[in-house]
Amino acid sequence: MLNISRWFAGGGDLLLRIAAILIAITFHEVAHGYVAYRLGDDTAKNQGRLSLNPIKHLDPLGALMFVIFRFGWAKPVPVNPLYFKGDRRRGMFLVGLAGPLTNFVLAFIAVLLLVSVSAWQSGAALVFLREVMFINVILGVFNLIPFPPLDGSKLLAYLLPRQSAYRLGQLEQYGPLVLILLLATGMLGRILFPLVEFVINALATIALFLTSGI
């Protein structure tokens, strides 16, 4: 079930992978926007970004990177912490955490279904569940990198002193270029591959434990 090396090498159906990508990025961005909305910021809601329509969240370059390099990104949901109720830094931490956490939940659901239908040897449904599992774990882990504009930078900024957090935020203008270079050279895959494998195996272990008595 967890043939990670083969998946990264290109195994799987392209159309099913694209469908899994759209699901992953849509729920990821909606989670950001929804948490921001609950904290008092209706910017994403007013711009129609709380929609489950994947077109509203699609970044063409990020999606292409996902198809080619297995890592990518969506169009960021607009968030204005000035509207947050309470601690704005804590609010950005929660907004940043919401996306990756949602991806891990989706991946876990896919793993549970894979465990439940482990007797299947082939079929589009099984392949699709694998794609959902891989894509969501990859997107979740990838976004936890503590480098702007990824979500991990928002989590790190909350833990840093304000001056250090401000300096971290200044790196955001260079973020996309750095990430593309890391993707193109394969360095990002070498860094994240072990983490993705660890998370998937951890989710599989938990799923097997939960379903062992069923």
Cβ–Cβ < 8 Å for 45, 37:
yes
Q: Is 181 exposed, middle or buried (0-12, 13-18, 19+ CB in 10 A)?
A: exposed
* Distance from C-alpha of 61 to C-alpha of 180, rounded to nearest angstrom: 10
* Position 100, amino acid: P
Identity of the residue numbered 167: R
Q: Which of 107, 96, 66 is nearest to 197 (CA)?
A: 107
Active site residues: 29
For 97-114, b/e burial (b = at least 16 CB within 10 A) is bbbbbbbbebbbbbbbbb
